[in-house]
Amino acid sequence: MTPDQFIAKWKSAELTERAAAQSHFIDLCRMLGEPAPTDVDPKGDWYAFEKGATKTTGGEGWADVWKRAHFGWEYKGKRKDLNAAFAQLQQYALALENPPLLVVSDMDQFRIHTNWTNSVSKKYEFKLEDLRDAKIREQLKWVFTDPERLRPGKTRQALTEEAAGEFTSLRSVCAIAATTRKPSLISSIASFFACSQRTWTFCRIRCSSACLNTLRPGQTNFRP
């Protein structure tokens, strides 16, 4: 199946999630040149439709598609809430052996959420028509073949250290500004860091500098 054939077929489809999910996934596999679950694992031991899973909140459920050490995949009907689908999939993640990728789709949109431990989560998002782009199809193929290619570059520890570094720099400069009482310097500091909510949070929690008491996120005016 070519990308244009896949797009044409599913753009016009108005089936429910239950009626369309497996057919959509099989067509996607054909377009990407990947085997569908029943082609390679008829017992469903490591690659399966309707993989049973216990929710972290209790009770039983099913992930629409699961491939061990690759992904859990949840479908919703067209124009349904994909955030709800992701939340549902997160409840299954532990029972699915914590796959590195959590994918949700309403057949018009695709969202790939990374799920590695100690890594900053990243979301890859694209629409049905984007599948004409070879680079988008390559990213989607990695979901099936090489999830590591989608792993974010930063760990949570690295992100924390980066934010702490920003805070340290800001605190040092603010101390100078508060001492000198130069409005132009404080205004410049505020302008530079106004876009960083993360840095502002660090400052509010950990810094008692008189200078910071004059600043708010997005504000650049000095208040004596």
Going from N- to C-terminal start, the domains of the chain cover 3-150, 156-214
Q: Could you give the CA distance from residue 178 to residue 207 in angstroms, rounded to a whole number?
A: 13
Please state the separation of Cα 39 from the chain's center in Å: 29
- How many other CB atoms are there within 10 angstroms of residue 214's CB atom? 19
Q: In 46-196, which residue ranges form alpha helices assigned H by DSSP?
A: 82-92, 134-145, 156-180, 183-193
Q: Could you give the CA distance from residue 142 to residue 92 in angstroms, rounded to a whole number?
A: 22
pLDDT along the chain (224 residues), means of 10: 96 91 97 97 96 85 94 94 93 93 96 91 96 97 97 62 54 61 57 50 44 47 40
| Residue 22, pLDDT score | 96
| Residue 222, pLDDT score | 37
CATH class assigned to 3-150:
alpha beta
The terminus-to-terminus CA distance of the chain in angstroms comes to 68
**Per the structure block, which two tokens stand in for 120?**
């900053």
Pairing of the two strands 101-105 and 71-75: parallel
User: Is-contact 75 106, C-beta < 8 A?
Assistant: yes
| Residue 175, pLDDT score | 62
